[in-house]
Amino acid sequence: MIVSHSHRFIWVKAVKVAGTSIQKALMSFLEPGDVATTDMSRHLGADEVKACVSDEEWDEYTKIVSIRSPWDVLVSLYHFAHEVQRFNTEGFNAPACFDDFLWWHLSSNWNNKEFWMLDGGFWADVHIRFEHLELDFSDLMSKLNFQSTELERIDSPYDKGIPRQPRSHYSHYYSRWGKDYVAEFFQDEIEKFGYSFDHPFDVGGNWNWIR
């Protein structure tokens, strides 16, 4: 989370959308009086961030969040959950079967809906599309009147020292049930941002290291 009073923007950090890289870049422009979570692994939902500012600030500041195809981001979360489990830091057991993982994860109260939506609607003024990360981040820099800066690759703390291996396109993980389950769960996001299932999104090559 970032609340910049000096530059009048609010950043909500969703999960597995290059959020740490974006937050680190944005924090380089902060000034005294601005607020940011110092724990880069922490994620606050849109409702929690809204509670940290006044109604006037929420209405008038530029509000920013990153998005990613729900089918793709869930595969990324599946790998991340097993990285965490390997280090036994969270005390949970993520299902090995991907269909079981979908049910386990989406039945919880912790998924990207809490970052992307608020009170049943989309709240952000700017959506940084993971599939067009460099382009959208560059546009954000211009919108905020910041000097152009490149995003830095930041590895997960749970796979430090473990080489990243290219993974299959997300569609290879899904059964028909899983595909339809995600489509129904994230129907609003899929319709708004024009996501479709069998499209191998080009994320610009440089970001293929993000599972």
Q: Is the pLDDT of residue 165 over 60?
A: no
pLDDT for 110 equals: 65
What average pLDDT does this structure show over 88-113?
79
Nearest to 126 by CA among 191, 61, 188: 61
| pLDDT tens profile 127-136 | 999 999 999 9
Please answer whether residues 46 and 115 qualify as being in contact, where contact means their C-beta atoms are separated by less than 8 angstroms. Answer: yes
| pLDDT tens profile 176-203 | 999 999 999 999 999 999 999 965 544 4
What single-letter amino acid sits at 62?
T
Q: Is the pLDDT of residue 209 over 60?
A: no
pLDDT for 202 equals: 42
What single-letter amino acid sits at 36?
A
Nearest to 170 by CA among 210, 198, 139, 202: 198
Average pLDDT, the chain: 85
Q: Is the pLDDT of residue 33 over 50?
A: yes
Rounded Cα distance between 45 and 118, Å, is: 9
| pLDDT tens profile 150-163 | 898 776 554 444 55
Beta-sheet pairing, 9-12 with 2-4: antiparallel
pLDDT for 81 equals: 81
pLDDT for 117 equals: 92
| pLDDT tens profile 59-82 | 999 999 999 999 999 999 898 887
The answer to which of 29-43, 75-89, 171-185 has the lowest mean pLDDT is 75-89
The answer to which of 18-27, 47-56, 109-118, 194-203 has the lowest mean pLDDT is 194-203
